[in-house]
Amino acid sequence: MIFIRREDRAVPIVLMQEEALLERLEEAYPKRNVLKESISSRQAGHRGEITLDYYLRFLPHKEYYIIRGVRLIIFGEPCQIDTLVLTPRAAFVIEVKNLQGELSYDENSGQFTQTTAKKGKKSIANPLLQVERHQLQFEKWLHFQKVFSYPIIPLVAISNPSTILNFPQGNPHQWKIAHSENIPTKIKQIEQNYANRNQTVDFGWLEKRLMEDHRPGYYHTLKKFGVSPTELITGVRCNNCLRYRMVRKRKRWECINCGHRSLNADAKAIADYFLLLSSSITTKECNEFLHLENRYQAIGILKRLGLEKEGASTGTIYKRPKDILNQLINKE
């Protein structure tokens, strides 16, 4: 599950979607390079989040709740928070950026610039505005839960330790941005400002409500990259030779290209279907996508994967699981 406290951070769904798409496109597909660049950028962002996770582990676990990747729908608008740190007296909404080179901020224009050896100087999206939007959205969500007067502090974590932060002395926003390794210390320092605050928050209750309201975000990946469903490579991919040449034989999969056998190769294929095509699948759709011989094979596979189903007989649909990573992708 993406929404976790002390465990490893899950891979973002949008990254899983793009990686699944890349695997199911022919090598000659025109937009493969654009897709690869997007994947590379998202992987860098994910690595940056993991870097912050490492430093946050040094916070006392009894005093701090660390929640990763929660996505809320607040009055119809999605709010994806990279990292949320809850303390008895304040919450910290943290946006992680894996940026290189030198970062500068002009308070008058509100413009952030990034200077690197390869690309020179360029304007980038203001991460402070982004995290402050999340701060306001989370505040609205808390108010809807009848939680008031709970301070919410926005912070930006720069995960690359070699990045130079160049802010004019006395900039009022300077305290909101720091390298990831300094974030735990900054949290403790800021929290001291609220040491005399009498009102505290019930962590257990708040965590439960966040888990209930967490909504994983799936994106129209095919549409974004201009891919038609008919352009996808279908079938079950061999984990050994990486070819889509596996066939179903006696309740297992066998690759007719290299001879590799697997009991669970179909799980990744079903995950790809959910990631790229639909939030549900029928036995007919499973038959076609996995190149099965009959509907009974499809029924057996979908039942074995433990998918929630709805309807009966030929009208049965099997639903996409909330934890697609652990229930399907990690099955192989």
For 180-216, write each residue's pLDDT tens digit. 999 999 999 999 998 888 777 887 888 889 989 999 8
Fold (topology level) of 234-331: Arc Repressor Mutant, subunit A (1.10.10)
CB contact at 8 A, 249 and 262: no
Instruction: Output the six-digit token pair for 290.
Output: 């996995």
pTM of the model: 0.89
- Strand 77-86 and strand 246-249: pairing? unpaired
* 64-80 confidence digits (pLDDT tens): 999 999 999 999 999 99
Q: What is the CA radius of gyration of the chain?
A: 23
- Residue 322 pLDDT: 84
Domain extent listing, the chain? 13-213, 234-331
Question: Which residues, in sequence order, are bridge partners of residue 102?
Answer: 115, 164
Angle at 131 between CA 77 and CA 200, to 5 degrees: 90
Environment class of 167 (CB within 10 Å of its CB; exposed 0-12, middle 13-18, buried 19+): middle
How would residue 4 be classed by pLDDT, with cut points 50, 70 and 90? very low
CA nearest neighbour of 91 among 197, 249, 223? 197
Please give the mean pLDDT across all residues of the chain.
91
Residue 174 corresponds to which amino acid?
Q
